[in-house]
Amino acid sequence: MARGKFITFEGIDGAGKTTHLDWFRARLGDKLAPGGRAVVMTREPGGTPLGETLRGILLNQSMDLETEALLMFAARREHLAQVIEPALKRGDWVLSDRFTDATFAYQGGGRGLPRDKLEALERWVQGGFQPHLTVLFDIPTDTASERRSSARAPDKFESESEAFFKRTRAEYLRRAEEAPEQFFIVDSSQTIDEIRRRLEDVVASL
């Protein structure tokens, strides 16, 4: 059986990507099921027992910026080794709520960690491995802020300033411009129905 594909959902907090993950997984699963393939749903940071432990630390504890980036990539290495690569080798498809683009956006764009340090970690942890497709939910930061304010109690990233999220969004868009063949940008200020029509196009193209 041929290797599967790796698809990631990205966007700043409040962009609404999580609203569409289960729907997208179900639609993709419907397409893959006749061929005996499955969709593996996962997330970052997290996806493994170690990764979930690190997620709790990363989302709730203050730490040095470089420590934060190193822990993100440590969780990612475990995620690749234990979940992503084995699934792809089985021929399954993997759908992840965030991956490396989030680290460049949040720790790089938002927090200001130099890009060359992140690129060195990316090469070490991933080699040349990248998602086959990244669906980027893009939204103005003020709209995202309104959405976050009506959600559950925020973690340390969700509590950041609008200026932080403007830098984070800008880095996401820079990454998308740098690799247009990988990214599919969705205007997530649209209605849920409008967004799902766009995502239906993505499923059909896959």
Task: List binding-site positions for ATP.
Answer: 11-18
CA dihedral (16, 20, 22, 25) positive or negative: negative
| Omega prior to 45 cis, within 30 of 0 | yes
What is the 8-class DSSP label of residue 186?
E
| E-strand stretches of the chain | 6-10, 39-43, 93-97, 133-138, 183-187
Residues in the annotated binding site: 11-18
What is the 8-class DSSP label of residue 183?
E
Contact between 70 and 144 under an 8 Å Cβ cutoff? The reply is no
What is the 8-class DSSP label of residue 47?
S
